[in-house]
């Protein structure tokens, strides 16, 4: 059986690092925008790199916090009408996907390392708004001072 380079405990530790993260970059967000935001977190004096991949389109929004060194998804929110196949069945529509060592073993497909949950789930609410969803992911990961990450559309400050 293939193995993951992270355990659930490792993923939780990485999320803890995210909780102390600050970025000071400006980005432009328009219909069809996709890209990534490099994020450096620090915990107990040790720096770690993350990336927030984003895609923005009407009825198709994705935000994916990943660990830079492994590329594994830690927290992902999909606001679309498609589905994800969990080992115990499909989750359709708006969903949050969380790193799961258990799901990796259950799926046994060598790549699925997260489990999907329909929204709302835990602290994640269901909505259609990119910025509300971005705020939710920041709240979940406890990212502070995220106002320094700015998405600008038509020269209007959106955050």
pLDDT in tens, 122-143: 889 999 888 788 888 878 877 6
**46 Cβ contact list (under 8 Å, min separation 6):** 17
Q: pTM of this prediction?
A: 0.73
Confidence of residue 115 (pLDDT cuts 50, 70, 90): very high
Angle subtended at Cα 118 by Cα 63 and Cα 52, rounded to the nearest 5 degrees:
10
User: C-alpha angle 59/60/66, rounded to 5°?
Assistant: 150
Question: Which residue spans within 1-159 are E strands per DSSP?
Answer: 26-28, 33-43, 46-56, 61-67, 73-79, 83-86, 89-92, 95-99, 114-118, 150-153, 156-157
Work out the pLDDT band at 87, boundaries 50, 70, 90: very high
Smallest Cα–Cα separation from 42: which of 139, 114, 147, 144?
144
pLDDT at 86 over 80: yes
- Output the pLDDT for position 18: 64
Average pLDDT value for residue range 80-105: 95
Inter-residue contact 42 to 145 (CB < 8 Å): no
Q: How confident is the model at residue 98 (pLDDT cuts 50, 70, 90)?
A: very high
| pLDDT the model gives residue 82 | 94
Phi, psi of 84 (to 5 degrees): -130, 135
- pLDDT confidence of residue 25: 47
Q: Is the pLDDT score of 156 beyond 50?
A: no
pLDDT reported for residue 21: 52
Per-residue pLDDT at 144:
63
Q: What pLDDT does 150 receive?
A: 47
């Amino acid at each position: 059986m293939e193995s993951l380079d992270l355990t659930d405990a490792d993923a939780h530790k990485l999320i803890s690092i995210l909780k102390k993260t600050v970025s000071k970059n400006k980005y432009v967000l328009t219909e069809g925008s996709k890209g990534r935001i490099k994020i450096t977190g620090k915990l107990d004096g040790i720096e770690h790199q993350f990336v927030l991949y984003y895609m923005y389109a009407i009825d198709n929004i994705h935000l994916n916090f990943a660990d830079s060194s492994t590329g594994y998804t830690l927290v992902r929110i999909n606001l679309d009408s498609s589905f994800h196949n969990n080992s115990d069945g499909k989750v359709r529509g708006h969903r949050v996907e969380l790193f799961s060592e258990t799901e990796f073993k259950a799926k046994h497909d060598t790549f699925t390392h997260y489990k999907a949950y329909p929204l709302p789930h835990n602290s994640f609410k269901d909505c259609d708004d990119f910025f509300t969803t971005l705020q939710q992911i920041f709240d979940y990961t406890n990212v502070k001072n995220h106002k320094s990450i700015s998405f600008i559309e038509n020269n209007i400050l959106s955050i």
